[in-house]
Structure 1
Amino acid sequence: MQHRSRPTPKALGAGAALSLALALTLSAAPALAAPPGPGAERDPVPALVAGEGTAAPQLVTGLAEAAPGGAGEAARAHLAAHPDRYRIDPAQLAELAVERTAADRRTVRFQQYHGGVPVLGGQYLVRLVGDGAGQRVESAGGKYFTGLTAPTTAAVPAATLRRLALDSLTDQRARTAATAEDRGPVVLPGGAGRLAQHFTVRSTDPATGGPLVREVYVDAIRGVVALAHDARSPYRAADAGTGAARGAAAAAAPTGPAGEPATGSAPDLLGRTVPVNIARQSDGGYRLVDLTRPATISTYDGTGRDYREFGRLPADALPVTSPGPDFPAATGTSGATDAHVNAGTVYDFYRDRLGRDGLDGKGSPITSVVNVSNGGRPFPNASWDGQKMVYGNGDATHRQFAAALDVAGHEMTHGVIQHTADLEYSGQSGAMNEALADYFGNAIEVTARGIAMTDPGAALLGESLCLTGTPEACAGRRLDDRRTTVDDYLGAGLELDSGGVHLNSTIFGGALWDLRRTLDPLTADRLVYRALAEFLTPLDDFVDGRNAVLAAGRSLGLGRAELRTVAAAFDAHGIRAGWQSRVRTDSRPLLRGAMAPTGPAAGGGHWVMGSTSGPVGGAVPLYTGSTTAPSTPTRLSPEDERIHGWAATDGTSAAWLAIGLDDTGTWGTEVLTRSLSGGPVRSLFKSSAQSPVSVQVSGTDIAFVLTDGDTGRSRAMLSHDGAPPVELPLPEGHDLVPYTSSSLSLRNGLLGWLETWTTGESTVQAPTVHSIAAGRTTAQYPVSTANGAEAPFLDSPTLAGDRLLWTQTAPGHPGGGAIRSGALNGSGVGELLPAGSPLAPADLAITATDRAVTFQQRGDKPADGWSNAALPKLYQLPVTGGTPVRVSCNRGTQFHPAADQGNRVVWLDATTGGSDLVTRDRPAAAC
């Protein structure tokens, strides 16, 4: 994983979007149930669940109110007739879909708009039962965000927004090959909301050669990345999502070639000959096209071509063909037979068992492409891309991925989810997306194969893909792993497994699977499907999912004993309101739910950080507080609508950047400073053309790096004793190293920076110490490359004690980066942490006091998938060298550390699934 970003506050916002991106959890926070009334212990279905951060309720059940007329009109009229109950403006709702889950049941799904711009995850549902004059509202709910006042016209030029989206890819090689598809404006919910431009950014992962797809939301008022996370799959279609996009995805799907229904045979991957439904063509040939169902099922052979060629089916692509009705052996070895038969089995499950006509509920064509590779290399993967299934060609230990019925069911269920709840693929909502796909994938397989729920293999997913090893060892997941929120939830930043969508899926999926083992399986399937189709909305979390399943149970007519069984299944997996407060941690919280554009700064017993935890809308104020004792955060930044962050503090004052529109309506970046004890906010520098970064403060000195957007030249600027900043001179031909995450360090009249120049055929990078009083370099440690060789990556110059520290990473970043140091008097270089260490921090920034240096270990995805051990953790070692020890034993991701005093460090911690600012006074050591 690379964390390199351009040295501009706009791009640093992209590179540091990890914590601010967790703003999704602001609108998907645990729902608050109404206080239980008498007898509530006997009725686990909540009558009312209040919305979090909104006046509109999350769920209202137990209704029986007349609603005659067409479904959409009746639902809208119902909401309009009860403004005090729902606090919804029906004029801000657009009908998204009407889902008929039974002959007399319809769910009207509305999309929320703000000033004509869709609100991310803003969906409200009204459930109707009966027909004609007898039609009535049974329940309603969802997420409707009140209090939105965000502007709806972008202030940042479209070209700049696109560039910022591309810059969100932190690896230069990925950026070079990237494209950004503009998906249009969207309002991000929470407080007053934020106007953002949504881009789907596609590239190739330089480390693996595999697909890299990110959903990126750029703040269209302030010019920073507000939210970024991985797409649901490598092939997620750009037009899959909400409103008109859903219709576009269906319309763009292959229509299936004409022909006459026929039957034939084909070999499968196990060498058996099986019957297949096919289409006879007018020329007498046959195609692997099933015309016997309302949804035409077509299967294509990718013939080992690269998966990228099938984002859209090539115009000349045809389904698998045969001169006669008995298809040749290649149809089996490619996986086409299995994919074709499995698609029919999945369709039949949804139609016959759940009453759903195809993935979109409208009988639209179902298409599979099998036998694709990753640039000619093995591709052990499968995916729903928003329009079709794509199956990889396996590898030395896995069959063609089309072989597994549960995998086919899983991927096709993602298509069902897309056309129903469309759960956002990040954090808890993304984990539920995966959990529901797992549940139905396994339910389809055990039903079709006649496997008993008591069979130990029933809960395994993908075990039939194994060529070697036991099914248990080969399975991708198992739904009976008994994981719980309190004991096992792994909070992760959105750049790691999209916030833990696979890491945490079996917590929710396990509760659903327990229902299938304790209830009648058919009842369980109908229950879970109804929750998906009628109750869930895109930003729902685990507790919302619990409430949705319980409410679906009541609507199905489950008795109280069965509903208590449902509640008990969720209780057993720790899915209940307030579970986060029961997660054990060994750190001390400083600020709960911190939604920060960058990490904190610390020094002198104080922290400083921009955070949306306060009562604000799209703005991000800067706060400060004590690191040594409980304190109420104090606002440092002025009352405006800008994003304040990228701060530094020496414990007495703070300096930081403010980005956005100032009071004159001009967009730009400003360097501000203020005493932590109060007083006026002073402006040191302001520009809409040049981008200051890496602000540092020490006593009366404030320094920052200024980069010219046109020339790319970087230089150090210094303000002494309140004077306007001046450029610090460098030798002719010298410049500061660009594209580093931390470019400057300031302490006790010394500056540390990274300097670069060329000499003949050589390029030199040098960690450098500059004396402000002497006006000259006092120590330098050159690293030279020649003859066009790729240079190592140097980053994070940090003054600590009597040394200058920095990280140094080899070209291509194998084994991560070393932490090196040199004495301030210019004497020899030492290595605090050698390259190749299992804890190597790659090019992440380090932070240090005179006593200790703290770093975040690298977080590369291991070959066997993410785990708690693989998620980035913080380590600390003496500045003089030694053995690194864990700062904290908390689960999940620990990120953005800031050293304070001694061994004390503050950081952003994702243990409980959000982003808390926490601290420890000393390392936890052994965990």
Structure 2
Amino acid sequence: MPKVLGVGTAVVLGLGLGVPPAFAGPAAEPDPVPGLVAGRDTAAPQLVTGLSEPAVGADPAGAALAHLAAHPDRYRVDPAQLAELGTERASDGRRTVRFEQRYGGVPVLGGQYLVHLTGDGAGQRVESVGGKYFTGLSAPTAATVPDAVLRELALTSIDDPGARAGATAEDRGLVILPGHTGRLARHFTVRGAGPDAAGRPAREVYVDATAGVIALAHDARSPYPAGGAAARAESAPGAPATSPEAATGTAPDVLGRSAKVNIVRLPDGSYRLVDVTRSASITTYDAAARDEFDFNGGIPAGVLPPVSPTPDFPAGTGTSGATDAHLNAGAVYDFYRDRLGREGLDGKGGAITSVVNLTSGGKPMVNAYWDGSKMLYGAASDKRHPFSVALDVAGHEMTHGVIGNTANLVYLGQSGAMNEALADYFGNAIEVTTRGTAMNDPRAALLGESLCLTGTPEACADRRMDDHRTTVDDYLGVSPSLDSGGVHLNSTIFSGALWDIRRTLDPLTADRLVYRALAEYLTPVDDFVDGRNAVLAAGRALGLSRTQLRTVANAFDAHGIRAGWQQRIGLDSRVLLRDASTVSIAPAAAKGRWVAATAEKGGKGFLSVFTGAVTGGGTPTRISPADGRSHGWPATDGTSAAWASMGTDAQGSWGMEVFARPLNGGELRSVHRGANQYISEVQVSGGTVAFRVNDFGSGRTWIQLHRDGAPAVELPVADDHDVTALSLKDGLLGWSEDWTTGETRSSAATVYSVAEGKVVARYPAAGGASVSSTVLAGGRVLWVETPADRTGRSSIRSGALDGSGVTELLPGDSTYAKLRPTITASDRAVTFGYRDGDRPAGGWSNAALSKIWQIPITGGTPQRVSCNRGGQYLPAADQGTRVVWLDGSAGRTDLVVRDRPAGSC
């Protein structure tokens, strides 16, 4: 493998690029542009700069492919797997050919490789190459789970039953999810329906097409395919049937001030708010307070652009926000065309469509967004102007359209945060440039400051670019369930660096620099460090001086965006399993051993069950078979493990299977196999395995016990009863049980004796409260009790195993009970955490993320288990006070452990 050079090194070693030898004399300041960046988990380099090699071929794509094919040892890519997505031509004639990686004809998520060309004809040369190309893929390319089953599984990603009824799942086709050897998934865009879905974004859901499990899900940035604006807008109801005549007129803005607007005059003599003076026509529609969901996919019949019998439009054009939307769309177009040489959001002069005056669930839509084909703006409320008023908001949202047609950064984690950061940067740049605001103006860094009807701009602003956040101090390590992994929460770390570049360099140079990085270097799943390298490489292509490039590098350094920043965060836990591929499947621990589910190299991208010692050290061992199925949902008693497997068997039937195996790698035992069944809540203790079965064919649900090889025992679950949170220990099985009698809801913690074959203890909750998270530990049964109205605070309780008495370990009026705990316990301590919930009143911070706490099993004052900054999820108690959990502090998901509480942090 070629040697990877640091960011401060210019020379490329091991690639035979003909770099001249160094001359004697004083050491020159190191070049901040990386010469070579090796790809992670791939043999293909992420970035190679400093090239000047002939590119043979009449067209850019052919020349680029020929260059890659001519240097197989340098790039390690198979040109046969590359399909041209398009060629970006810069104003200086430089061209960037963007290829999509397709494995077996199936697109690879985020797999894009780019070749940068200069010159023309015989003088055409390759200047740099890079992107994401995933080597070593061996995933299947044909789905084995029926499409209908995959669609139903995708719909389960909507956790609100009210929004799930009538929900839709639009099939986006098959895709290979990268990582290790790849994972075949079918991609759906899932949208809720009904009032419960109001204000909720669509979800991008990837369902494993051979195992039948959700592999990845996150909120959608653009629910509709980018690049379709022209076709939709031009054929939308209400569009002129004949070529209109360009005209100018006046229209009041939201404050009643008269503004000059570009409009059209129709053959009947009326005028509409349509601008045809630019190569990209601009049309603005008034939704007249219709709901945003009416505009999924297009413009409904009867929705028209504002119309006037004269060129002077009435007051309603302003109060609806239409005038501001129309003017702001023109300003955004002009910025990209005049300053950056881009023709429209799609780069091809495609139409720009805006819809104003939208509601959501019967109330003003407190939002604005680009839906992939058009702009949607919320109506005015008692606190805010229409969202179309703010030019930086309009610029931000329409820049998402530019991003979708260039780097198409995936809206998840760091790539999603860069998506938001770039939209922030250009939204802000468009406004300060158009308004003539100096970069040293105290309000130049504000975003959305003009929307509020009352209060100062500083108080009204949604974000500010100069908040000085850094990766090491401020990165919020959250799960995909919160803000798609922190796409807004972490965006100003990256946008702050870009803003500092704009403040330090000439603004025009900075805008061209950032735009070139977006259009020509970034690829869909890049992270912050990749973004840094993209900007620096773009700077070299633009001809920035060494001093200017060092200024750019210093801005990223100031925000902690440099290779290895995760290692500088400082954790008080030990890592047992790095970069786990799921945050939704809980680990388990007992007697100094842990089990967890993740994908691994050689596992063909499927989930596998791994085990290791909680003391760390050594390599985690896979104990599940490599059989082309997903294995997860593990449990352990410290000696053996049991888990569920999901996928298609040799006969082509989809179903689930329960396995058990000693942790030392002894004989693998199939405990249960069921076609058309869903198995959950797997538990193991000694030779006994218990789990919950839901049979799709019969509609029956039961708990199944397998004891030391004896025939299976079914514990039927009564009609209208729901059993969850199974816990198996020392011959006892505990669970949480919910049922409804008439209109009365009941819930109880229940203990069943395996040997006696009967329930030996039941603790009903009072007043309609619900019981959850049942655990057997310390010779007692423990559970969480939550009030019926769910507005109160949960308590943690414990009961004797004979049903004789209850002890409250964490009272419902405790300060900590507001955390809505779920619990795990050893014989000495109870550990509890809380779910990501609604946005805290003071805004999200690392302190407000999911944390885990611990109390003695007899009750007491809670202590923080760990002072790690990021989200802490799904804790599993081992022995004494030792706990393992999934931790997001390092910007990824690691399985970590602590032996004792950290106390106060």
2 CA distance for matches of 1:781 and 1:112?
57
1:3 is aligned to: none
2 CA distance for matches of 1:838 and 1:513?
41
Structure 2 counterparts to residues 729-748 of structure 1, below 5 A: 733=718, 737-738=722-723, 740=724, 742=725, 744-748=726-730
Unaligned 5+ runs, structure 1: 1-29, 241-245, 786-790
1:132 is aligned to: 121
Q: 1:65 aligns with which of 53, 65, 69?
A: 53
Unaligned 5+ runs, structure 2: 12-21
Structure 2 counterpart of 1:283, which letter?
A: D
Equivalent position SS for 1:413: helix
Shift of 1:392: 0.8
2:664 is aligned to: 677
Q: Bigger CA drift: 762-771 or 77-86? A: 762-771
Q: Count the aligned residue pairs.
A: 879
Instruction: Say yes or no: does 1:796 pair with 2:773.
Output: yes
1:168 is aligned to: 157
1:15 is aligned to: none
2:257 is aligned to: 272
Structure 1 counterpart of 2:608, which letter?
A: P
Shift of 1:766: 2.7
Structure 2 counterparts to residues 333-344 of structure 1, below 5 A: 333-344=319-330
CA gap 1:31/1:694 in 2 versus in 1, 3 angstroms? farther
1 CA distance for matches of 2:67 and 2:9?
25
1:6 is aligned to: none
Equivalent position SS for 1:781: strand
Q: Bigger CA drift: 837-846 or 413-422? A: 837-846
2 CA distance for matches of 1:266 and 1:840?
55
Q: 1:821 aligns with which of 791, 794, 798?
A: 798
Q: 2:31 aligns with which of 22, 32, 43?
A: 43
Instruction: Say yes or no: does 1:114 pair with 2:103.
Output: yes
Equivalent position SS for 2:336: helix
Cα contact 1:816–1:858 (8 A) shared by 2? no
Cα contact 1:75–1:126 (8 A) shared by 2? yes
2:287 is aligned to: 302
2:183 is aligned to: 194
1 CA distance for matches of 2:770 and 2:86?
51
CA gap 1:874/1:614 in 2 versus in 1, 3 angstroms? farther
Instruction: Say yes or no: does 1:654 pair with 2:641.
Output: yes
Shift of 1:759: 5.3
Cα contact 2:233–2:351 (8 A) shared by 1? yes
Cα contact 2:380–2:386 (8 A) shared by 1? yes
1:515 is aligned to: 501
Cα contact 1:755–1:768 (8 A) shared by 2? yes
Q: Bigger CA drift: 63-72 or 137-146? A: 63-72
Instruction: Say yes or no: does 1:353 pair with 2:348.
Output: no
CA gap 1:179/1:40 in 2 versus in 1, 3 angstroms? farther
2 CA distance for matches of 1:758 and 1:579?
52
2:757 is aligned to: 775
Shift of 1:46: 1.3
2:733 is aligned to: 751
Equivalent position SS for 2:579: coil
Q: Bigger CA drift: 115-124 or 256-265? A: 256-265
Shift of 1:132: 2.3
Instruction: Say yes or no: does 1:413 pair with 2:399.
Output: yes
Q: Bigger CA drift: 68-77 or 340-349? A: 68-77
1 CA distance for matches of 2:812 and 2:232?
50
2:19 is aligned to: none
CA gap 1:467/1:760 in 2 versus in 1, 3 angstroms? closer
Q: Bigger CA drift: 756-765 or 371-380? A: 756-765
2:231 is aligned to: 251
Report which structure shows greater RCO (CA 8 Å, sep ≥6).
1
1:105 is aligned to: 94
1:19 is aligned to: none
Structure 1 counterpart of 2:41, which letter?
A: G
Structure 2 counterparts to residues 441-840 of structure 1, below 5 A: 441-596=427-582, 598-662=585-649, 667-728=654-715, 733=718, 737-738=722-723, 740=724, 742=725, 744-755=726-737, 762=744, 764-783=746-765, 793-810=770-787, 813-815=790-792, 817-834=794-811, 839-840=816-817
CA gap 1:401/1:863 in 2 versus in 1, 3 angstroms? farther
1 CA distance for matches of 2:301 and 2:150?
33
1 CA distance for matches of 2:897 and 2:5?
28
Q: 2:874 aligns with which of 878, 883, 896?
A: 896
1 CA distance for matches of 2:790 and 2:86?
48
Q: Report Cα offsets for 1:805-846 as digits up to 9, x if no partner.
A: 223445574356443433222134454445586655787742
Shift of 1:274: 1.2
Shift of 1:69: 1.1
Equivalent position SS for 2:364: coil
2 CA distance for matches of 1:192 and 1:80?
23
Structure 2 counterpart of 1:674, which letter?
A: R
Cα contact 2:884–2:898 (8 A) shared by 1? yes
Q: Percent identity?
A: 64
Equivalent position SS for 1:211: coil
CA gap 1:849/1:254 in 2 versus in 1, 3 angstroms? farther
1:56 is aligned to: 44
Instruction: Say yes or no: does 1:263 pair with 2:245.
Output: no
2:832 is aligned to: 855
2 CA distance for matches of 1:154 and 1:711?
26
Calculate the TM-score normalised by the size of structure 2: 0.93
Shift of 1:303: 1.7
Structure 2 counterpart of 1:918, which letter?
A: V
Cα contact 1:269–1:335 (8 A) shared by 2? yes
CA gap 1:355/1:846 in 2 versus in 1, 3 angstroms? same
CA gap 1:72/1:712 in 2 versus in 1, 3 angstroms? same
Equivalent position SS for 1:679: coil
Shift of 1:156: 0.5
Alpha-carbon RMSD: 2.4
Q: Report Cα offsets for 1:49-97 as digits up to 9, x if no partner.
A: 1111111111111222222411222222222222222222222211111
1 CA distance for matches of 2:883 and 2:645?
25
Cα contact 2:83–2:101 (8 A) shared by 1? yes
Cα contact 1:734–1:755 (8 A) shared by 2? no
Structure 2 counterpart of 1:114, which letter?
A: Y
Shift of 1:746: 0.7
1:925 is aligned to: 903
CA gap 1:498/1:838 in 2 versus in 1, 3 angstroms? farther
Where in structure 1 do 4 or more consecutive aligned residues deviate above 6 Å?
Answer: 30-36, 205-208, 841-844
Shift of 1:784: 7.9
2:420 is aligned to: 434
Shift of 1:106: 1.5
